[in-house]
Chain A
């Protein structure tokens, strides 16, 4: 039938994934509204409308991409990648400076685009059918990842930079690229992490003399505020009103929510301003949600996360094309990292970083980037099984 033929592609979209994303978007609109309901500026109070608009636009993009063949889109990867790098460079030069960091240019956050651009480039790079899977490919992948990471680190934005690492290693893992080199790199990374944390512990220790502590602090390859955030994570009680404030207040919000929560629009931590208003709608939106809906609401968010991650991996699993599969793996890993780091920091599991919660946190660039990414995943779902590899 004509109808079934022209809309058949739509039925091949992953419906669980689509439903979970729409669910997450609705949750996002509801809690951006809640988080901003007490803001005085109208523009801020209406942030939820923006979120809804972006969600609708994102869904349109998503359907459009699903209709298109992702392999056609992948042809433009270098253009996308180069454009993103250019934007990142521009951000460093003329970006809007807020709280000591340049992250925005012309109202967008290029670092979010860079995640998708890197995934696209790597998916094609690692997923080629004739790929050698040798050390050269590994180093190439590292170089392709290192370029945007370096530019983002210079903003500086450590959290976003670090999200790249698990993503690229998950893709390398699934692509079976030189396992030994991958393991060696991971080992080295863990070593560096332990060393940095060790130095921070030493620099905060009472037993070490003040000049030595100052010297250790200079040795650390971190800026003062990055060090502060790690210190807060390690020692939440050192300065409850300064550096530890957000972490402490976020934990109180989540914890005081209890099993059933305090009710929609009744989260005291947000209403009374203990949860800083500037972060309540984006980085700490999960705290608002968890306080108002309790453990039950938190579980629903985790359930939505499962509803997004597992279908994406399922799409990857059944895809016959290496690039398509790695694209899905990359997108799923980025999503997982954001979810884990964001929720983890609101409950004191991880240090505080500016990593938003996918589909729920307000933030145009990140939302549209994620919607684009999942449009491509749906495209893989629609086209990945029927299309013969082109190489």
Chain B
């Protein structure tokens, strides 16, 4: 106090005011520090984790696919790549600096290994923008000498490293291509998903079993949490789980049968399915024309895609499962079953064929204008007499036929484990009314009875129906992947009188032994079958679908099959019969003495044939 008055340059309040100013400043800092370090701390900690913690997704080894004999159909092989890790080349400033650095580094590596780089600046820019934390493979399938040359000089190339990409390979080439489908390189997830900062890409099924069983084949990807420094280098592993390898899948396919079926179909357009009638195992399933899945993985080249797109054969389309065909005369076995069942027909009900059945608007002719004479159901099946079935269908009506078709699994998916199965179509009056504004007429029933009209089936469905006839009424869910259940998975059991089924089966046996299906003869086994020739298209050239359904051995059935050939030059027997024979030979061996190619029952079946049949039974 004593000095206050002693100096004139002194104002008592000025220094305290300055002190208050300082205090306010420090209080502001304190308040802001509290805000940053306490209130918003977790947000900043999150930002730190986002920029320094990487979740590396490690793909699990994809499961292999085997056939029932243990032959590997889909395998993995390592594809050594030289990949660029762009984060390590990050430069301060705009992204252009980083892209410059990447380009310079790639040119340097190109000089080291003596291979030009194919990556354009745009591709690098896209990768930087969208998938910065992921390695970008630049040189694929690098051979060992190049790798050695690279490793010698690896110090000179930060940001570029060897990176082994798993790749799918199909050792059997195009065998069972439509069953297997193919796996492609997984598409990188957008990085905005915080859970995956850094994903090493695995494979992903795109079609067939590869797609259907992707979850099992894929396994569980492992992950590593790592903290990286500002240059992207790993500093410490935080935690992680190892990838769980994918499960192997064993198919019911038999590569020998499959190969024979594919060879028999080669050069034609069509499909075939071979089933084990006891349990529904798919022994072979083929669609022609086919493709080599090796060309589809990890991704088809642009030129390949163009070729596939332009191919009129639609090679990726699995006709056996997705194809939609009128069943033609093969449907007559179902009409026969309906007639013998609800229709109350017996063997005594006959029809006298004059080669033409008068029907409006257009009469139905028998094949080759043959006059079959008086035929019973069994004979009608043997010779595929259109008149008999039109007459019968007109008598019993459409409903019992539809019912039998549905019971045998037509008009609904079979439930096979393959994608995009076609459900088929069994037309009814309701549908005709809404679609054509017309009532269901006797003519429609007649057309349906010979497997034409709007009736549509897939070859697989016909195979299942045939297997049901062969095994005595058990409708099986066709299975393509092996399972423990010995009897297969029974969808439903159709109750037939023994006589009802026996007539149909005898008719089918006769069709093979001396009827329309005799082209099947030649294997070491007695088969039963039914041909079909469905006409389609209009105009000058009427095209034909050639069908054959068959089972064997006739007395104790083990396998059933359905074959269809599009745009066949000839009838079902001639076009599809030899295919059935080749498959049966593959399954049971060839006959010791080759059958006469022409002769027995080649001409129009006569009363002799009838008598002969009668004699046999």
- Whether B14 lies near A174 (C-beta < 8 A) is yes
Stretch of A62-70, A95-103, A216-224, A310-318 contacting B (4+ beta carbons < 8 Å):
A310-318
Q: Which chain A residues lie closer than 8 Å to B94 at the CB level?
A: 239, 242
Taken residue by residue from 261 to 273, chain A's Cβ proximity to chain B (1 for < 8 Å, 0 otherwise) reads as 0000000110111
Closest 9 CB pairs of A and B: A255-B44, A273-B230, A295-B37, A272-B229, A256-B45, A258-B41, A322-B9, A256-B48, A256-B44
CB<8 Å pairs between A and B, sample of 7: A175-B9, A241-B90, A269-B48, A271-B235, A274-B229, A302-B33, A320-B7
Contact of B44 among A239, A251, A305, A309 (CB under 8 A): A251
Q: What is the 8 Å Cβ interface bit string for chain B, positions 34-53, against chain A (1 contact, 0 not)?
A: 10111011011101100110
The answer to whether B34 touches A295, judged by C-beta atoms less than 8 angstroms apart, is: yes
Interface residues of B (CB under 8 A from A): 3, 6-11, 14-16, 18-19, 22-23, 25-26, 28-30, 32-34, 36-38, 40-41, 43-45, 47-48, 51-52, 90, 92-94, 227-231, 235
> Which of B8, B92, B235 sits near A272, CB closer than 8 Å?
B235
**Cα distance A370–B37 when bound, in Å?**
29
Given known contacts A268-B227, A322-B7, A349-B32, A252 and B51 CB-to-CB distance under 8 angstroms: yes
Partner of B15 from A241, A306, A329 at Cβ < 8 Å: A329
Contact B41–A255 (Cβ < 8 Å): yes
CB-defined interface of A231-266 with B at 8 Å, one 1/0 digit per residue?
000000001011001000001111111110000000
Interface size class of A (residues with CB under 8 A): 35 or more
Q: B230 — nearest CB in chain A belongs to which residue? A: A273
A359 on the B face (CB < 8 A)? no
User: Do residues A340 and B92 form an inter-chain contact, with CB atoms below 8 A?
Assistant: no
Chain B CB within 8 A of A351 CB = no
- One of B16, B47, B227 near A252 (C-beta < 8 A): B47
**A269: which B residues are within 8 A, CB to CB?**
48
- Tell whether, in the assembled complex, residue A329 and residue B7 are in contact, meaning their CB atoms are under 8 Å apart: no
If over half of B's interface residues share one DSSP class (helix, strand or loop), that class is named, otherwise mixed; here it is helix
A13 contacts partner chain B, Cβ-Cβ < 8 Å? no
Q: How far is the CB of A133 from chain B (nearest CB, A)?
A: 8
Instruction: Indicate if A25 sits at the interface (CB-CB under 8 A).
Output: no
> What is the minimal beta-carbon distance from A254 to any residue of chain B, in angstroms?
5
Q: Which residues, 367 to 391 on A, are CB-close (under 8 Å) to B?
A: 385, 389
Separation of A313 and B16 alpha carbons in the complex (Å): 8
Chain B residues lying within 8 Å of A309, measured Cβ to Cβ, are: 19, 22, 26
Which A residues from 124 to 145 make CB contacts under 8 A with B? Answer: 127, 129, 131
B28 CB contacts on chain A under 8 angstroms? 349
Look across to chain B and name the residue whose beta carbon is closest to the beta carbon of A343: B29
Task: Quote the shortest CB–CB distance from B231 to chain A (angstroms).
Answer: 7
Give the distance in Å from the alpha carbon of A349 to the alpha carbon of B35 in the complex: 12
Interface presence of A160 (CB below 8 A): no
How many A-B pairs with Cβ below 8 Å? Answer: 146
The answer for the CA separation of A274 and B93 in the assembled complex, in Å, is 15
- Tell me the dominant secondary structure on chain A's binding face: helix
* Closest CB in chain A relative to B4 CB, distance in Å: 9
Q: Which residues of B contact A253 (CB under 8 A)?
A: 48
> Would you call A245 and B92 a contact (CB within 8 A)?
yes
Q: Are B45 and A258 in contact (CB under 8 A)?
A: yes
Q: Shortest beta-carbon distance, A308 to chain B, in Å?
A: 10
Contact of A259 with B29 in the complex, beta carbons under 8 Å: no
Nearest opposing residue in chain B for A243, CB measure? B93
Say yes or no: B7 contacts A129, CB within 8 Å.
yes
Closest residue of chain A to B12 (Cβ to Cβ) is A317
- The answer to whether B29 and A302 touch across the interface, beta carbons within 8 angstroms, is yes
Can you name 17 extra interface pairs (CB under 8 A) apart from A254-B33, A317-B15, A347-B29? A242-B93, A251-B36, A252-B44, A253-B48, A254-B44, A255-B44, A268-B48, A268-B52, A271-B229, A295-B37, A298-B30, A305-B26, A306-B23, A310-B19, A313-B22, A322-B10, A340-B26
Say whether B26 contacts A306, CB under 8 Å.
Answer: yes
A252: chain B residues at CB < 8 Å are 44, 47-48, 51
Task: Determine the chain B residues whose CB is within 8 A of the CB of A339 once the complex forms.
Answer: 26, 29
- Looking at B26, B29, B38, B230, which has the most chain A CB atoms within 10 Å of its CB? B29
Q: Which residues of A contact B52 (CB under 8 A)?
A: 268, 272, 274
CA gap between A127 and B3 in the complex, in Å:
16
- Chain A residues closer than 8 Å to B8, beta-carbon distance: 129
Q: Does A79 contact B (CB under 8 A)?
A: no
Cβ-neighbour of A294 out of B3, B15, B37, B43 (below 8 A): B37
Residues of A within 8 A of B23 (CB): 306
Task: Tell me the minimal C-beta distance from B70 to chain A in angstroms.
Answer: 51
- In the bound complex, residues from chain A placing their C-beta under 8 Å from that of B26 are 302, 305-306, 309, 339-340
A313 adjacent to B19 (CB under 8 Å): yes
Check if B6 sits within 8 Å of A302, measured CB to CB.
no
Interface membership of A12, Cβ < 8 A: no
CB neighbours (8 Å) of B45 from chain A are 255-256, 258
